[in-house]
Amino acid sequence: MRILIADDEPVSRGVLEDALGRLGHEVVAVSDGSEAVARLLSPDGPRLAILDWMMPGADGIAVCRTVRQRPAPYVYVILLLPRRRREDMVAGLDAEADDFLTKPINAVELRARLRSGERVLALQESLLQAQEQLRLDATRDHLTGLWNRGTILEHLGRELSRARREARSVAVVMADVDHFKRVNDEHGRTAGDAVLRGTADRMKSALRDYDFMGRYGGEEFLFVLPGCGAVTARQAAERARALVADQPLAIGDERLAVTVSLGIAWTCTGREDATALIQAAGEALSRAKASGRNRVAD
């Protein structure tokens, strides 16, 4: 791993750098606390630091306190003490240091302290990954990877609030996979899931980076299109419809022709609430289906 050494004594710094190199670590060596802070707070800064107790610019305690003001990523800090005194260790712990080493460095002790640091950082990384997965589980539809119903409605609410503040338009599009029950009945639910994923991917590719698309429920999808009125919303819906219909979806060894029907609703001021806008899009969707499916209605 990359380890930062901050020590203003060239001999001590060189001995530590050599020891870490023999252990297979990449070393970033600096001679004062100010540079240590700059390196540790950089986006790709080392995640483990060995800081001398006293050095110019900022001492080890000051560097530790500064680094701890940033919530993430966590830096494992080992303070390098001239001697193991209780009051120094208490001060270091108060600054939220993780561990201590005393000069001169003992190679066996150094290896053990580093292993402790690696375990802590690995555990933190696992916790962050678990936290991110929980966030995704709470906001994403597990099948398609789109926003789930709750999250897409939150996006719509925020865009309507922005539209009211800025007097701008917002459009919603309700899309439904045509004859989806027939796909499940004739090809099975595994094929049905694949159709939903493939259809979602194609429709999503028709939208702008700042548009939102979520799975509203079953085979229904909801688009939230900021800044779109009737014309631009219809254009987006037509692009999505065409991308789905133009080529059959490859499902295992089969190729299934899939189409979608879409209904559009919009507001020029954001004064309509989300429920009314979605209801209007749903009614437009019903008209599209009644007109023969594989089409857009408003």
All domains in the chain, ordered by first residue: 2-129 (3.40.50.2300), 149-297 (3.30.70.270)
- Of 17, 35, 159, 219, which one is the catalytic site residue? 219
Report the C-alpha gap between 101 and 30 in whole angstroms. 18
This prediction's pTM: 0.64
Verify whether residue 219 is a known catalytic residue.
yes
Question: pLDDT tens digits, the chain, 298 residues: what are they?
Answer: 899 999 998 988 888 989 998 889 999 999 999 999 999 999 889 999 999 999 998 889 999 999 999 877 899 999 998 887 888 888 888 999 999 998 888 888 999 999 999 999 888 888 888 887 787 778 899 999 999 999 999 999 999 999 999 889 999 999 999 999 999 998 899 999 999 999 999 999 999 999 999 999 999 999 999 999 999 999 999 999 999 999 999 988 889 999 999 999 999 887 888 999 999 999 999 999 999 999 999 9
In degrees, rounded to 5, the angle at the alpha carbon of residue 275 between the alpha carbons of residues 272 and 281 is 85
In degrees, rounded to 5, the angle at the alpha carbon of residue 134 between the alpha carbons of residues 129 and 137 is 125
Label each residue of 175-243 as H, E or C.
EEECCHHHHHHHHCHHHHHHHHHHHHHHHHHCCCCCCEEEEEECCEEEEEEECCCHHHHHHHHHHHHHH
In degrees, rounded to 5, the angle at the alpha carbon of residue 255 between the alpha carbons of residues 253 and 257 is 160
